[in-house]
Amino acid sequence: MSTAPSTQELLLAAALEAAGRGWHVFPLAANTKRPALHGFDTCTRTGACAGGHLGWERRATTDPDRIRAAWAAGRYNIGIATGPSGLVVIDLDMPQLGQTPPDPWNQDGVHDGQDVLALLAEQAGQPIPADTLTVTTPGGGVHLYFAAPAEVELRNTEGDKGRGLGWKIDTRAHGGYVVAPGSLVDGRGYTLTDDQTPAPLPGWLVKRLRPAPLPATPPTPIRPAAGQRSRYLNAAVTAEAQRVTDAPKGQRNACLYVAAVALGQLAAGGALTEDEVINELFAAAWKHVAVGAYSQQQAMATIRSGLDAGRKRPRQVA
């Protein structure tokens, strides 16, 4: 008598199915949306990381053997690294209980991320971009999967911030990931509700999400007037900039991230401004940008990611 497949077997099958579509997958902790892989702080620099720490994006894979080996260890949820997978995913969220749209989204008929996207399409004179592969999330939201444009490297956005589309809309592209269909959070699943080939991201959305142009020449770091920084702080900034400049091949991006975390902690503690950190590290990274080790956009994304991590652990200078 046959038995129903276990949750672990179903998750493995979902991971293999995603990889079969050409999507690069990696394990998320069971019943969560968090990567199950270790971070910079806990990396032992052994095994896959012997040549330098590899985060979830670089370890995401379509290799069935690697996927089977990973999911044999537990009931992992499935993350899809959107950048390597050639995807841009628009995440349309539902509001929290009692939450109402802020200006300028506080209009008749606007209640959630789907309504905001419809309003944006109307303003652009375009059809609502809903005819593509679609996944429904446990909270009632929607993930719209699109093929990423070849001519520009798009990054993640959140809500109204920066190049973001608007209230209750996030996007995931290079440097981001989404939870794959088949995954479970609090007993509720991510469900594939429209199974088709992801449509190309509409041009009007590419234009909206395109990163602002970066400088064509190395930026000049912000140098404070004499006496505005302590010797300790100057030494810390110099050391982290040097870490970036001297980073060996294969560890350039990792060193940039570590430096951004360290200076981000000082910025969070009030010793530096985030503009100072960005300018110092972007100037230090220019050497590697110039030889194609990473793009300007990738360098900036790594710095901002490190700042975000450092912001969670403020460090003050006595």
Element (H, E) at 170: strand 169-172
Q: Of 198, 175, 197, which is closest to residue 58 (Cα–Cα)?
A: 175
At residue 146, the 3 state secondary structure works out as strand
Contact 311, 317 (CB under 8 A): no
Here the tokens at position 198 are 């992801």
Predicted local confidence at residue 2, as pLDDT: 62
pLDDT at 315: 85
Distance CA(62)–CA(39), nearest Å, equals 21
User: How far is 113 from 120, CA to CA, in rounded Å?
Assistant: 11
**Could you give the CA distance from residue 255 to residue 237 in angstroms, rounded to a whole number?**
14
Q: How far is CA 202 from CA 50, 113, 131, 163, 287, in A?
A: 41, 18, 11, 16, 35
Give CA–CA dist 105/115, Å, rounded: 9
Which residue ranges make up each domain of the chain? 1-210, 231-311
Q: Could you write out the DSSP letters of every residue in 228-273?
A: SS-HHHHHHHHHHHHHHHTPPTT-HHHHHHHHHHHHHHHHHTTSS-
Torsions phi, psi for 129 (to 5 deg) = -80, 70
CA 315 to chain CA centroid, nearest Å: 25
Per DSSP, the three-state class of 77 is: strand
3-state helix, strand, coil in the chain (%, to 5): 35, 15, 50
pTM: 0.73
Q: Quote the tokens at residue 26.
A: 């990696």
- pLDDT tens, N- to C-terminus, the chain (318 residues): 567 889 999 999 999 999 999 999 999 999 999 999 766 556 666 666 666 566 788 889 999 999 999 999 999 999 999 999 999 999 999 999 889 999 999 999 999 999 999 999 999 999 999 999 999 999 999 999 999 999 888 988 999 887 899 999 999 998 899 999 999 999 899 999 999 999 999 999 999 998 777 666 666 665 555 455 678 888 889 999 999 999 998 788 889 999 999 999 998 888 888 888 998 999 999 988 888 788 887 888 889 888 988 888 888 766
pLDDT at 242: 94
Asked whether the beta carbons of 272 and 233 are under 8 A apart, the reply is yes
Q: Which amino acid is at 263?
A: L
- Tell me which residue of 139, 137, 175, 141 sits closest to 156, measured CA to CA: 175
| Separation in Å, CA 38 to CA 29, 44, 69 | 11, 9, 17
Omega into 138 within 30° of 0, i.e. cis?
A: no
